[in-house]
Amino acid sequence: DAGVTQSPTHLIKTRGQHVTLRCSPISGHKSVSWYQQVLGQGPQFIFQYYEKEERGRGNFPDRFSARQFPNYSSELNVNALLLGDSALYLCASSTDSNQPQHFGDGTRLSIL
């Protein structure tokens, strides 16, 4: 069975640009969450979606937004990119909010 898939795997952008990251959850999983991981730290929660509705939001600025589609895939959008947005962005899916989350391999975003 396919796991969580994320695209692209790597991305280089410059300050001020915007970026869209994509995630396809494990088949049958209706909940998708996004995390940011900077070097040397654990992942930090950005958003959780379930059945296309936002269920939770972490402590990130409004430049970060997300959505979930009817097929349960999801996009994370980041506007007005800053150097500090350079990180590994991880997507995780689960069958429901109270089940273990399973992660994709992430998108490595570098801001120049």
Instruction: Decide if residue 1 touches other proteins (CB under 8 A).
Output: no
Judged by DSSP in three states, 48 sits in strand
Identify whether the C-beta of residue 76 lies closer than 8 Å to the C-beta of residue 21.
Answer: yes
User: Which of 17, 20, 97, 110 is in the footprint of other proteins by CB under 8 A?
Assistant: 97
The total of other beta-carbon atoms located within 10 Å of residue 99's CB is 11
Write each residue from 67 to 96 as x if it is in contact with other proteins (CB under 8 A), else as -, in one continuous string: -----------------------x-x-x--
Instruction: Give the C-alpha distances (Å, rounded to integers) separating 35 from 14, 21, 68.
Output: 21, 12, 15
User: Which of 24, 25, 29, 33 is in the footprint of other proteins by CB under 8 A?
Assistant: 33
The window from 11-19, 52-60, 61-69, 71-79 that contacts other proteins (CB under 8 A) reads 52-60
Q: How far is the CB of 43 from other proteins (least distance, A)?
A: 5
| Those residues with Cβ within 8 angstroms of residue 51's Cβ, 6 or more apart along the chain or in another chain | 30, 68
The total of other beta-carbon atoms located within 10 Å of residue 74's CB is 25
- Tell me which residues touch other proteins (CB under 8 A): 4, 31, 33, 35, 40-45, 48, 50, 55-56, 58, 90, 92, 94, 97-98, 100-106
